[in-house]
Amino acid sequence: MADEEETNEYRWESGYEKTWEAIKEDDDGLLESNVAEIVARAKRKRAALKATGAIQLGMMRHLFVVIDASECMFLQDLKPTRFLCVLKLLELFVHEFFDLNPISQLGILTTKVKRCVEVAALAGNQKKHIEALQQMKDTSCEGEPSLQNSLERAMNGLKNMPAHSSREVLVLFGSLTTCDPGDIQKTIKSLKENNIRVSIIGLAAEVRICREIAKRTGGTYNVLLDDHHLKELILNQVQPPAVAGSMEASLVKMGFPGGKTGSGDGASDSAADHAPAYCLCHIENETSCLMGNNSGYNCPQCGSRYCELPVECKQCGLTLVSAPHLARSYHHLFPIKPFIERTEVPEMTHCFACAKPFGELDPNVYECENCKQIVCLDCDLFIRETLHTCPGCASDPITAQMKTN
């Protein structure tokens, strides 16, 4: 991002920033502290929400990300500009998304000049998406966005997806206005009929129609405070949502390409496997990668070769995954049990995980049901969102044994 900042403009040309006010506490102690508290409470709520493991999760997700590319995305309240900041964070999001939802598909749309354009079709190839996002950096932002057009477009793409998958739209909306050709209420209605969940992240302020769309389709609506908050909000969308209503359970056909790590035991494979081949994900590009003998994965159904997993086979449409991918989404199904919130535990003065002494700031501590260890709020969230395993249980040989059994 450094080079962009150089080419962009001088500091004195950018917006008016009162940085000193960000750190200052309010006179009457109302404003900042209060908002901070609300954010902290939201954090706790998030932790509580994640803990509930019994609900069915829509793990096979079809998600359209709609990026607002209207005029207002050139504003510099996010650095370097709203647009670049959002793209950068989306790259991270795409990566995380496929990491945690390996059997899902993603598409990217942009909206500007009252129209909606597809940047990347619904597919399971993260490289392509990231490439598309990087290419977008050079495009311009102009005109007004159209919520209705984008939602209609996304709906058309999602309508025909199988019923057992979760259909979602995520809109990153910077503008405060939308220029629609028709009645958006009808669009909301048909979104609802099609079981499409629309979540919106506003970049400027609360727009009523966005709140309404999110509320009626069962999604979430949030407005950022700053870029850190935006990152948090975007990454919140990585977690698969709980299934709303009835979604039929069905078997999904998947391919597990054989992993070839060594060169010796390839006797059973056909000759085609060993022949040098173009990787199918890059075959259209000029910079196609020629793979060596033993790297890459072959589709068990048609034999096409891919350099990376997970991917949807271009030839036969089979979803190709590897076992570790599935294992990684396993924690969605069996999350660790929620820690019990305690107001005070006199005998423990330090967090078990990070060894930080419990301060006056946050009176609440969290106890694991299994190992009875006490952690602080931050560690609780870290365990829940990143580790997916309790350090207390893991370090205790007996409980660890139990878990593996």
Partner 1 sequence: MKLNVDGLLVYFPYDYIYPEQFSYMLELKHALDAKGHCLLEMPSGTGKTTTLLSLIVAYMKAHPLDLTKLVYCSRTVPEIEKVMEELRKLMNYYEKEMGMEQNILGLALSSRKNLCIHPSVSKEREGKVVDGRCYGLTASFVRARHAGDDAVPVCNFYEGFDAHGKEFPLPPGVYNLDDLKEYGQAKGWCPYFLARYTITHANIVVYSYHYLLDPKIAEVVSKEISKTSVVVFDEAHNIDNVCIDSMSVKITKRLLDKCSNSIQILETTISNMKENDNRRLEKEYQRLVEGLRDANIARETDMALVNPVLPSEILEEAVPGTIRTAEHFVAFLKRVVEYIKTRLRVQHVVQESPAGFLRDIHIKVCIDRKPLRFTAERLSSLIRTLEISDLTDFSPLVTVSHFATLVSTYTKGFTIIIEPFEDRAPTVSNPILYFSCLDSSIAIKPVFNRFQTVVITSGTLSPLDMYPKILDFHPVIMTSFTMTLARPCILPMIVSKGNDQVAMSSRYETREDTAVIRNYGNLLVEVAAAVPDGIVCFFTSYLYLETIVSSWYDQGIIDQLQRHKLLFIETQDAAETSLALINYIKACDNGRGAVLLSVARGKVSEGIDFDHHLGRAVLMFGIPYVYTQSRILRARLEYLRDQFQIRENDFLTFDAMRHAAQCLGRCMRGKTDYGIMILADKRFSRADKRSKLPKWIQEHLKDTNCNLSTEECVQISKRWLRQMAQPFSREDQLGISLLTLEQLQSEEMQKKIQQRAQAA
Binding site for partner 1 (CB under 8 A): 15-18, 27, 30-31, 34-35, 38-39, 41-42, 71-72, 77, 144, 147, 176-180, 183-185, 202, 204-210, 222-225
Q: Which is nearer to partner 1, 109 or 320 (CB)?
A: 109
Give the Å distances, CA to CA, from 366 to 73, 142, 314, 340: 41, 49, 48, 5
Spatial distance between the Cα atoms of 242 and 333, rounded to a whole number of angstroms? 11
Let me know: does 107 contact 123? Beta carbons within 8 Å: yes
Q: How far is the CB of 25 from partner 1 (least distance, A)?
A: 14
Q: Please, which residue, 15 or 245, has the CB nearer to partner 1?
A: 15
Nearer to partner 1, 225 or 398 (CB): 225
Q: CB of residue 34 vs partner 1: minimum separation in angstroms?
A: 6
Minimum distance between the CB of residue 178 and partner 1, rounded to whole angstroms? Answer: 4
Q: Are strands 115-123 and 105-112 parallel, antiparallel or unpaired?
A: antiparallel
Q: Which is nearer to partner 1, 208 or 253 (CB)?
A: 208
Beta strands in 113-226 (DSSP E): 115-123, 166-173, 196-202, 221-223
Q: For residues 206 and 362, which CB has a smaller minimum distance to partner 1 in the complex?
A: 206
Of 22 and 267, CB closest to partner 1 = 22
* 340's tokens: 């019990």
Minimum distance of partner 1 from residue 111's CB (angstroms): 13
Please list, in sequence order, all residues whose beta carbon lies within 8 angstroms of the beta carbon of residue 42, skipping any fewer than 6 positions away: none
Do 299 and 306 touch, CB atoms closer than 8 A?
Answer: yes
Considering the complex, what minimum distance in angstroms separates the CB of residue 345 from partner 1? 25
Identify whether 80 is preceded by a cis peptide bond (ω within 30 of 0): yes
* Three-state SS at 110: strand
Residue 236: CB minimum distance to partner 1, A = 13
What is d(CA 305, CA 280) in angstroms, rounded to the nearest whole number?
6
Question: Which tokens in the block code for residue 353?
Answer: 């995980």
Distance (Å, whole) CA 279 – CA 296 = 8
Instruction: Report the residue number, 87 or 203, with the smaller CB distance to partner 1.
Output: 203
- As measured in angstroms, the least distance from the Cβ of 153 to partner 1 is 17
Q: How distant is the alpha carbon of residue 363 from its chain centre? A: 31
Nearer to partner 1, 119 or 230 (CB): 230
Q: For the CB of residue 87, give the shortest distance to partner 1 in the complex, in Å.
A: 21
What token pair was written down for 261? 């790590």
Transcribe 344-402 into DSSP letters. --TT--B-TTT-PBP-SS---EEE-TTT--EE-HHHHHHIIIII-S-HHHHHSHHHHHH
